[in-house]
Structure 1
Amino acid sequence: MSTAPGWLSALGRERARPTRLRDWPHAGWLVVGTVCFGAFMGQLDASIVTLTYHPLRTAFHASLAEVQWVSLGYLLALTALLIPVGRLADAHGRKLTYLYGFVVFTAASAACGLAPTLGALVGFRVLQAVGASMLQANSVALVTTSAPADRMRAALGVQAAAQALGLALGPTLGGLLVATLGWRWVFWINVPVGVLAVVAGIYLLPRTRHRAAVTGRDLPGTLLLAAASTSLLLGLSGVAGPGVPHWVAIALLGLAVATSIGFVARLRCASAPLVDPALLRNRDVAAGLLGALGGYLVLFGPLVLVPVTFADAGRSPLRAGLVLTALPAGFALAATVADRLLPDGWTERTRATTGAALSVLALAGLFAVPPASTWLIGPLILLGVALGLFTPANNTLIMAAIPGSTAATGGGLVNMARGLGTALGVALVTLALTAGAGMRPLDGPTLAVLVLAAAALVTLGSARAQRGRAPGGASPSR
């Protein structure tokens, strides 16, 4: 008798945790620690790959515009897949999706390191993004359905700190690997971490206790969402970067608007829409997603602004990197220790509002210090602390307003908002630096800081718009 059906069945079944681990009072923190593998690697991969641009141009005799597709292809695929993958995970199991996500991500990372051509590398990066979407769509959901309700914010803070740590180490580690072992090791470094994460996930992650009903796949909605996000990011890239005709960029942005309207219309008429319209009508969810976009725009904008400003002033990349590290360091510090230092009576809304207000103050401080100087460390640390206070509280408000059965879909929405915020931060700051060249009295860096300050004000408004009611849906998983 063939054992193949049994093997196939096992591959599609979530394995329970060992009873001793499941019943341990602190089992939820083991889940958070396991999820932090994916949070760390996702941000490390996002920030480390830019260090390969120069060696890739040399190795493949390619232009900068061609090499940028190593990042752009990854970002486009990731943004388009987060919500559909989250919906599938809600229906078929978040643990299963997360584990297979790490398998795909790890295998694709190994393939990236072996890529014989630039085209093959871009293709493997798209495959890597498929795995990353399976991780990111489930990360917030696994944390919120495993951590105790009264510790949800602290758990989300630890996850955010892992992301900040990956973001902070990316430039330093990437530069070291490229300088010593070569660009291929930038991708191969993911392999041992991925193997370790899969083994840990098998034993430490809980099975999905509450699953959403499978009522349809909404292929039109998925295609409209993919078209909207892809055309938006391509349009922003075209506006911010040289060599793209303006009419092409405008056409892409127009397509983004048209497909976004089509996606909203599809949500209203589909029998099984990709995203439940009731989620987006929820005030805490809608305002929180806007805040997540604005917060990540403000977080990633300086990652472009500071290196460019320092390079234009003749400062070394190492000096720029050391100054810039203050931002993710402040983020990680606040995300992990703020819970112990702030008054117990502060609500999530108060924390989010305070963090957003501090980010506005920090950006105002950037106007008071000389550009391309080490004095930037002060405002950057304050900005990191502000966003490290805002982000976990904002995520808690969003996820508390989403039923536990659709937690991965909600997590996909959060991560998609973050991805769009990241892309907007890079594109708008680049555009400001380009448009501000030669302007008086505003120069490029000043215009870029004004753009970030405007985004911080929007983020503050979104935090004030949230009501912050008690958690409504997340329930522990076994």
Structure 2
Amino acid sequence: MVDRFNVSACRNSLFRIHRFTAWNIFCNSLSQSPQTQLNNINHLQRKLKNTKHYKWLVFITIAIGTFISVVDHGSVLIALPVLQSHFGVELSSVQWVVVGYGLTISALLLPMGRLGDYFGKNRIYMLGMFIFAVASMLAIFSPNLTAVIICKILQGIGSAMVQANAIAIIISTFSSSERGKALGSHLSVVGTGLIIGPALGGLLINSFGWRSVFLVNVPVGILGILVAIMVLGTQVSDKIDFKENPFDWKGALLSSILLATILLIFGNGNNLGWSSYPIMIATGFAIILLVLFVRIENRIKSPLLDLTIFKNPLIGLGIMSSWISFFGTGGVRFIMPFFMQRVLHLDPLTVGLSMIPPAFCMVVFSPISGFLSDKYGWKRFTILGLTLSSSSCLLLSLWVSETSTLWFLIPMLMLQTAGNGIFNSPNNSSILNAIDKSKYGVMSAMTQLVRNSANVVSMSITTSIIVLSMALSGSSSNLDNLTPEMSGAFVSGLQITFLTLGIVLCIGLVGTIIRK
């Protein structure tokens, strides 16, 4: 399925380089100038580029960055209930650990993707890995929840650089006839991270406390940087000329503020009230920013985001369906650890282990779907994927309860994740195959922006529904020591949440059916 690719072949390609091995570079660097060291690294990269399996070496390099990001997110989700108890805060406060992270990524993805088109995707990618590792180290020493949130925001800056350029690097390396397979394999890495993240998080929290979920990022981050330097190199061959096509700083600034404002509205709507003055003012401000952004992008020579491409239904409806797909899964992944730990009284390790089978479905179905879509087209697989995801949410809305068992919950989550895996690689491949190579960076960033913004909005809406349900029953949103009445209100809100997500996924399914 991966054209005779295997780990052994890549290992031979990576380490059996005649004179310029990684070990030689390291030993010789002790007595060499920085410029000589850089030249040696670039020479090694050129050697690797001429090997048969170079495209898969690039894939492995990107997989490391993707893997560490997904594992971190999954581990932190399992840590949220522990952070809530440790710092004595409410659900609406602790959600900002993940919302702040997602908001930062969403706000910066487009500018970072476009900067990759200008300065080199490999350089922006490696800088992002460095920032992510430093932020993880700082998070270990956080004295309060605010410090944790700040470190996650800093992590978000690094993740934005990594995510915005990772897909662009992959699709620039693989031919159009192999992109479905490559993107599917990339999603299988995401699925593997989803398997290991919650399980590792639960194990680390049980054994060493919540700070350990950040510690594991540091050595993996360092490894990722070293491999990227060797495989991707530091030279750039396809960057855009600044003089002929000036960078759209106005568009970058407006898009970042606009996205941050929109996501802040969703993040604070529950606490402040959706009809409160701050929310209404922020909504008006967002509308003004949107109008300004559209006006600027339609007038300048080299816009941050060429809005005319969305007139193509293949791209416009594809982006919409992708957003809906992630919206339907983000809230579920966020709220299920709370439901399992607080209502079903399961320990963090059990909760983490219960997330393995659903994530395994993504590992299995994503590359299969991508491979088959390269041969038979994308449409039938995107329809099947959204059908499975929407069915899962609708079934959960009918039957989830305070007495639900893992024998029911895990198959439902597997159904949803399988649908998500089947849908996304063919859908993204169809979008990226429809654009010019000079826009790979920003459109790769767009596909990641869709995922992150949908997750943030989904988590915020999920929180709002749960909190409102508990408030209507006269209960606090602090989930420590739930009474039977509070558990009932929580489950009622959960049922409404699943119904809402299921209906939205059905809308996405209709968009996919009519897309041509």
Q: Match of 2:498?
A: 449
Alignment of 1:63-102 (within 5 A): 67-102=94-129
Structure 2: how far apart are the matches of 1:281 and 1:329? 36
Tell me the TM-score normalized by structure 2. 0.80
Q: Match of 1:149?
A: 176
Alignment of 1:37-436 (within 5 A): 37-53=64-80, 67-115=94-142, 119-205=146-232, 208-214=236-242, 215-241=245-271, 246-311=276-341, 313-318=343-348, 319-338=350-369, 342=372, 345-367=375-397, 369-371=399-401, 372-373=404-405, 374-436=407-469
In structure 2, the CA distance between the partners of 1:199 and 1:465, relative to structure 1 (3 Å rule), is: farther
Distance apart, 1:85 and its partner CA: 0.9
Structure 1: how far apart are the matches of 2:418 and 2:79? 30
In structure 2, the CA distance between the partners of 1:376 and 1:67, relative to structure 1 (3 Å rule), is: closer
SS of the residue aligned with 2:52? coil
In structure 2, the CA distance between the partners of 1:429 and 1:11, relative to structure 1 (3 Å rule), is: farther
Distance apart, 1:387 and its partner CA: 0.9
Gaps of 5+ in 2: 1-32, 474-487
Larger radius of gyration: 2
Distance apart, 1:170 and its partner CA: 2.5
In structure 2, the CA distance between the partners of 1:9 and 1:68, relative to structure 1 (3 Å rule), is: farther
Which amino acid in structure 2 is aligned with residue 350 of structure 1?
A: R
| CA offsets 1:39-67 (integer angstroms, 9 cap, x no match) | 11222222322444466567767776655
Identity %: 25
Say whether the 8 Å CA contact 2:61–2:228 is kept in structure 1: yes
Aligned alpha-carbon RMSD (Å): 3.3
Distance apart, 1:382 and its partner CA: 1.7
Structure 2: how far apart are the matches of 1:397 and 1:28? 20
In structure 2, the CA distance between the partners of 1:64 and 1:431, relative to structure 1 (3 Å rule), is: closer
Say whether the 8 Å CA contact 1:221–1:273 is kept in structure 2: yes
| CA offsets 1:385-440 (integer angstroms, 9 cap, x no match) | 11101010111011111211221111111111111111122122222333445699
SS of the residue aligned with 2:247? coil
In structure 2, the CA distance between the partners of 1:250 and 1:42, relative to structure 1 (3 Å rule), is: farther
Deviates more, 1:263-272 or 1:203-212: 203-212
Which amino acid in structure 2 is aligned with residue 404 of structure 1?
A: K
Distance apart, 1:133 and its partner CA: 1.1
Which amino acid in structure 1 is aligned with residue 239 of structure 2?
A: R
Structure 1: how far apart are the matches of 2:296 and 2:41? 33
Which amino acid in structure 2 is aligned with residue 384 of structure 1?
A: T
In structure 2, the CA distance between the partners of 1:124 and 1:367, relative to structure 1 (3 Å rule), is: closer
Gaps of 5+ in 1: 1-5, 468-478
SS of the residue aligned with 1:290? helix
- State how many pairs are aligned: 461
In structure 2, the CA distance between the partners of 1:271 and 1:12, relative to structure 1 (3 Å rule), is: farther
Say whether the 8 Å CA contact 2:103–2:456 is kept in structure 1: no
Say whether the 8 Å CA contact 1:234–1:249 is kept in structure 2: no
Q: Match of 2:49?
A: 22
